[in-house]
Structure 1
């Protein structure tokens, strides 16, 4: 598996043309790669050989007239998969760190001239952790003027990762960054990279009440992993408003209940007074008779 590659169309050389050359710029450790070197010949011309070199040492040769046409030369870091090699491509793997180097293909025409064209490209073997960046120090909610203090770490990788912080999708202000710092492991020189983020929260940092903080780790400019933290925001002005609204709602409810109780008591007292008056009237009427 590889994400970076290089291809080029070279110019013609009197009957022999170097076509598309494909060499990955980066490839993951323990994977297989295929290098390609295509060519074109003028009518009447024929191919003599296709040769592949790593750091100047030949590791694969294809000569159509030989039997067998393919020949392998033992080279550290290049374990040829002969079943998947052709006159225009060579496959090898699994890759190790010593597989990194300068790879060159060389194509030669047949006698008597043996015209030759070649092209090269560097290949770098990369180690990429399975897990994404790790972010520590965050909180689920921030208020205006709170201090955001996070740390993003990623590793172990080779080459070292480049870490980037984003606030709501925009690159963080450089004054917010702390680092980067790196810790290199003695085994295979694998590296863990750290980058801090520190700033005071301002109203502009909240989008619809939320703030998104994202750390991106990039290795060899091609492989990326992302970790995003989403937090809620609340300004100091909003907090009293919420408390006041809650208190106001509760106060109104109590006031309604008290007022309703007072009305009921007044009505009961009025009925009692009327009843007493009626009783007195009846008593007087009885005495008169």
Structure 2
């Protein structure tokens, strides 16, 4: 009987420890945004379950410096000075902290720490980094592009975007296809404070293959992206079309040059000569 009581007692202790392990203090939801826009208001959230314990305090830290505390033992929530942190006490409680007037110094590691009272003193915490960004007020904008081009012409397009943070990067596409880097020159322009803008120039020779579809359209797209932010891509597109007569004759001639038809037989050579003659006569008349 004594052995049975010992086994039963050990089993009850095991079950008690198991229940306490399952039903102990834990964070159930923790939210700190990856990015906050400068000048905006953000809310940090920290939800928890104290299980069988009694809440002692909820503390928030920025870079390990405490700036907010809630405790049932005190009548008011407390905010402490911290670089880049302005707490809106009217919109904050034990589960959330609202920060207003976000500035570049607001970037940092934010941690929520929850503790329970004695004798069941436990601590649970989580942390996450938040970065402050400044989106450009305008752009990207494509300039210096004509509405019509002829095959063989040099096309120069400029793309610019307003100052932002992180520094923007610009990329180009022609008819939906990425442009080779050697066709592009790029320059960063310092702005006020941490802000900077960027200007990019794309230059290439118009070829017959660039003008697609029944309307013979050439689509040039410029994309702006802030650092590594996946949700910060902005873009703009400019459409040019193939110039018509007399350049349509020159386009036809260019197609012969591109395909090498001028060396594939006498009939093709005669066709090329006729095209050159018509092009010469047309320009004389015009």
> TM-score normalised by the shorter chain: which range applies?
0.7 to 0.9
Distance 1:184 1:238 in 2: 42
C-alpha separation in 2, matches of 1:32 and 1:86: 16
Larger of the two Rg values belongs to structure: 1
Map of 1:233 onto structure 2: 242
Partner of 1:7: none
4+ residue segments displaced more than 6 Å: 235-238
* Structure 1 Cα separation of the partners of residues 118 and 212 of structure 2: 72
Map of 1:151 onto structure 2:
158
Matched, 1:130 2:108: no
What TM-score, normalized to structure 2?
A: 0.73
State the shift of 1:189 in Å. 2.3
Query: For residue 185 of structure 2, what is the aligned residue in structure 1?
Result: 178
Q: C-alpha separation between the residues in 2 aligned to 1:107 and 1:235?
A: 73
**What is the aligned partner in structure 1 of residue 33 from structure 2?**
24
> Deviations 1:44-99 (Å, cap 9, x if unpaired)?
2222211111111111111123212x111122211111111121110011111111
Query: C-alpha distance in 2, partners of 1:241/1:183?
Result: 40
TM score, norm. by length of structure 1 = 0.72
Tell me which moved more, 13-22 or 228-237.
Answer: 228-237
Aligned to 1:78: 85
The structure with the largest strand share of the pair is 1
What's the offset of the Cα at 1:204?
Answer: 2.3
Which runs of 5 or more residues in structure 1 are unaligned? 1-11, 248-289
The answer to whether 1:197 aligns with 2:237 is no
Tell me how far apart the structure 2 counterparts of residues 204 and 16 of structure 1 sit (CA, whole Å): 66
Q: Which runs of 5+ in 2 are unaligned?
A: 1-20, 252-277, 279-286
RMSD value over aligned CA atoms? 2.5
Matched, 1:167 2:170: no
